[in-house]
């Protein structure tokens, strides 16, 4: 690991997700990755979001499915994600943050259902994925891949790269 850090290593993988700046101005060519007119109104909640982390853990012996744990440090980000109810999580085939992976088929894609979680702020929100992920570097491995969290209309809620924890 590069540099000094007091944070302990927990194993598994991590992606630190950063909300996209959604700018809708005729003088500015930068926009969200979604071209849907509906995303203009629904993306207003992303302006109050901070970065957050997504951890993947190997399944336990009795369960063969990977667990995804969102670690959210502030209540505003938690509530912005929870308001979406259903969040689309895409793990792209490549790790290029400058491209819009939505035009090609992802390596993995899952729906995270926030309606099953508590209404009050929780720092850690756990989801069981429908399959076991390869948490390494390989043809099917997730390390080094772009991970995108978005609303069902395509509005980007966070984007990052999966790495070792």
Q: Per-residue pLDDT tens for 31-58?
A: 334 333 333 334 445 677 999 999 999 8
- Specify the pairing of strand 156-164 against strand 86-91: unpaired
Radius of gyration for the alpha carbons in the chain, expressed in angstroms and rounded: 16
Map out the domains of the chain with their CATH numbers. 14-164 (2.60.40)
What is the pLDDT averaged over residues 132-160? 94
DSSP-derived 3-state class of residue 43: helix
Q: Which residues pair with 65 in a beta bridge?
A: none
- Please report which confidence band the pLDDT of residue 12 belongs to, taking 50, 70 and 90 as the band edges: confident
pTM of the model: 0.76
- Percent of the chain exceeding pLDDT 90 equals 50
Task: State the pLDDT at residue 9.
Answer: 55
Tell me how far apart the alpha carbons of residues 66 and 70 are, in angstroms, rounded to a whole number: 13
> CA 92, 105, 107 angle in degrees (round to 5)?
40
- Tens of pLDDT, residue by residue over 54-101, are 999 987 766 689 999 999 999 999 988 888 889 999 999 999 888 766
């Amino acid at each position: 690991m590069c540099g000094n850090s007091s944070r302990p290593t927990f194993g598994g993988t991590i992606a630190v997700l950063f909300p996209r700046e959604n700018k809708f101005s005729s003088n500015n060519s930068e926009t969200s990755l979604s071209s849907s007119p509906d995303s203009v109104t629904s993306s207003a909640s992303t302006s109050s979001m901070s970065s957050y982390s997504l951890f993947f853990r190997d399944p336990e012996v009795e369960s063969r499915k990977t667990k995804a744990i969102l670690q959210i440090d502030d209540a505003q980000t938690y509530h912005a994600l929870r308001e979406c109810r259903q969040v689309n999580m895409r793990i792209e085939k490549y790790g290029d943050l400058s491209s819009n992976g939505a035009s090609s088929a992802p390596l993995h894609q899952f729906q995270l259902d926030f309606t099953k979680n508590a209404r009050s702020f929780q720092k850690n929100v756990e989801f069981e994925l429908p399959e076991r992920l390869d948490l390494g570097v390989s043809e099917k491995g997730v390390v080094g891949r772009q991970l995108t969290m978005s609303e069902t209309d395509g509005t980007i809620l966070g984007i990052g790269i999966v790495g070792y924890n």
